[in-house]
Structure 1
Amino acid sequence: MATYFSLAAAAGAGEETAEQVAEVTQNTVAEVGRLTQFLQDNIPQFIAFGVQVIFALIFFLIGRQLIKWVRKIVKHSFERSKADTGVAQFVDSLLKYGLYFLLIFSIAARFGVDTASVAALVASSGLTLGLALQGSLSNFAGGVLILLLKPFEVGDYIVEDTNQKEGTVKEIQIFYTKLSTIDNQTIVIPNGLLTNNSLTNATAKDERRLDLKISVSYEADLRAAKHLVEEIMTKDPCVMKEEGIQVFVEDLASSAVVIGARAWVKNEEYWPTKWRLLEEIKLKMDENGIVIPYQQVTVHLPEEKK
């Protein structure tokens, strides 16, 4: 009897499992059917959307080539007119961003976006955009001021006094100015920072004053040392003799007499001349027995009383 009930229970469980499998199968078939019907109903829309995407990509690629062509024409126009390099770079950067914005706006309009609604939305959210883009707008205004007031131009060597960033100006763009350092690194500085803080333009003039400081010991012949420095600077071919050469006592320091020397050189010859003069002065002073002292402290002890 127990075996009979066990077989009956197993048969009932098997029938229940079969019913569940059949139900799941029916649900799956129904879902597949609905998905198939959805695809059949919307295939034209999918095809139309795919065609729009393809046309948008083609339109974007063609527009990008046209933008490059327009920028190249404008660049050649600036080169022929020998316009300022900074102005040319600024206009090129502005043209690039503006044309790409128009291109993307046109593609969005082709996809059915209501351009009037977009324009109204941008106009209504102008204050929010202005606050969000306050730094960028400040940098843009800074770029315009740099081009109008010309505190520096492409090719000038400048020092940003606040953060002590310095280098040769390579590009003036609508938001940033790029500097190239003497070790060939690139520094990117926001235009707003350059217009709101002080800076030093080391190459604003064709000539630059060269200042040297040379320390000699108190026991050295001061006149001989001054004469030696003046003679070396007079013989150097890059020193501008017509501007005058000055050699004088700069300071009576704790461990040395500091001799100052001033002369004028061309901007492009400033650093090579400075390095060459310092090396020549050191070698000549060694030859003439003039000591350049180390930092030192002399301690005098009182004699013991007898």
Structure 2
Amino acid sequence: MMEWESIATLAGAYGLKVLGSLFIFFVGKKLASLASSLANKMMEKAKVEITLAKFFSNVIYGLLLVVIVLAALSNIGIETTSFVAVLGAAGLAVGLAFKDTFSNVGAGVLLVVFRPFKVDDFINAAGESGTVEEINLFSTFMRTADNKLIIVPNGRIIGGNIVNFSAKPTRRVDLKFGVSYGDDLRLVKQALREVLEADERILKEPEPFVAVSELADSSVNFVVRAWVNSPDYWGVYFDTTERVKLAFDEKGITIPFPQVQLHKE
């Protein structure tokens, strides 16, 4: 009879502890979810990037859940020191196994926080050029001019130079044209200026620049610099090249090109 009473007392005591641990787990899980949701809302109000806000809220939830599980286990008398050590060792092993992934996540956080570029910007990064379509915590998606999709790990982007062609509202178009030594340089400058002045996309300020840049071996080289709105860059670049050639043809200005003469002996 005494044995049954001892068993009942022991079962009652442990039963209460188990119930207490279950209460700690489920209530703690609910509180962790609320804390994670509250942190996410606060970051949204602070206008933190949505990807970064979700990442940090998930981290907060995961850390709180680990603390809750350890507290529940400790309540029923299970020594949690060994669990902490195991978790630490497991975390180290996972960190070493996924170091490149974590590096990309860290780089993704930096890209989101410092914003060296945004979606729809045309950039050159990690040796690739294209329009940014998506930035997540692991990689950046870029669309090339010929409509190919390039997925670049964030670690490669943050570890190198980033050239953002869309960051500024205006860009400078730089062109170089060579003419024959026998051509009238004043006529050449006039022809170039007329081409620039006829294009309404070219800004008046800063004023377009035309000058002799080099007396080369077989040509006199002119440099042409014109400022345009960033979206007009390539259109002005190609159109100006074509119009200069047509203007030179019209005015009899010669563009030197390599020639090979064959002599019959």
Q: Is the partner of 2:173 in helix, strand or coil? A: strand
2:172 alignment counterpart: 209
Aligned alpha-carbon RMSD (Å): 3.2
Encode CA deviations 1:10-31: one digit per residue, 9 max, x unaligned: xxxxxxxxxxxxxxxxxxxxxx
Task: Give the structure 2 partner of residue 253 of structure 1.
Answer: 216
Per-residue deviation, 1:164: 2.6
Is the contact made by 1:89 and 1:171 (CA closer than 8 Å) also made in structure 2? no
**Partner SS state of residue 142, structure 2:** strand
Identity over aligned pairs, percent: 37
TM-score by length of 2: 0.67
1:123, distance to aligned residue in structure 2 (A): 3.5
Partner of 2:141, secondary structure, is strand
1:172-217 deviations in Å (ceiling 9; x for gaps):
0111011111111111111111111112111111011111111111
Query: Which amino acid is the alignment partner of residue 142 of structure 1?
Result: A
Structure 1: gaps (5+ residues): 1-69, 102-115, 299-306
Cα 1:280–1:119, aligned 2, differ >3 Å: closer, same or farther? farther
Q: Are the structure 2 counterparts of residues 119 and 237 from structure 1 closer, same or farther at C-alpha, using a change threshold of 3 Å? A: farther
What secondary structure does 1:283 align onto?
helix
Q: 2 CA distance for matches of 1:118 and 1:287?
A: 85
Match of 1:143 among 88, 102, 108: 108
Q: How far off its partner does 1:150 sit? A: 1.5
| CA deviation after TM superposition for structure 1 residue 236, in Å | 0.5
- Matched with 2:50 is 88
Question: In 2 relative to 1, CA 127–278 (structure 1 residues): closer, same or farther, beyond 3 Å?
Answer: same
Alignment of 1:1-306 (within 5 A): 87-89=49-51, 91=53, 94=55, 121-160=86-125, 163-296=126-259
User: More helix by proportion, 1 or 2?
Assistant: 1
1:210–1:265 Cα contact (<8 Å) kept: yes
In 2: Cα distance, 1:249 partner to 1:224 partner: 12
User: Quick one: which amino acid aligns to residue 208 of structure 2?
Assistant: I
Check the 8 A contact 1:143/1:173 in 2, yes or no.
Answer: yes
Deviation at 1:96, TM superposition (A): 11
How many Å apart are 1:122 and its aligned residue?
A: 4.5
Q: Give the direction of change, closer, same or farther, for the CA distance of 1:122–1:255 in structure 2 (3 Å limit).
A: farther
Structure 2 counterpart of 1:88, one-letter code? I
CA deviations 1:220-255 (Å, max 9, x no partner) are 221111111111111211001121110011222222
**AA matched with 1:290:** I
Question: Gaps (5+ residues) in structure 2?
Answer: 1-36, 63-79
Distance 1:225 1:89, change over 3 A: farther
TM-score (norm 1): 0.59
Closer, same or farther in 2 for the Cα pair 1:237/1:119, shift >3 Å?
farther
In structure 1, the residue matched to 2:28 is none
Deviations 1:237-291, CA, capped at 9 Å, x for gaps: 1001121110011222222111101111011110011111111111111111111
In 2, distance between residues paired with 1:247 and 1:258? 11
Return the alpha-carbon distance in structure 1 between the equivalents of residues 58 and 255 of structure 2: 59
Mapped to 2, the partners of 1:278 and 1:91 lie a distance apart of: 48
Report runs of 4+ in structure 1 exceeding 6 Å deviation: 95-98, 116-120
Q: What is the alpha-carbon distance in structure 1 between the residues aligned to residue 98 and residue 199 of structure 2?
A: 54
Alpha-carbon separation, structure 2, partners of 1:215 and 1:123:
68
Q: Contact 1:211 / 1:262 at 8 angstroms: preserved in 2?
A: yes
> How far is the alpha carbon of 1:124 from its aligned partner?
2.5
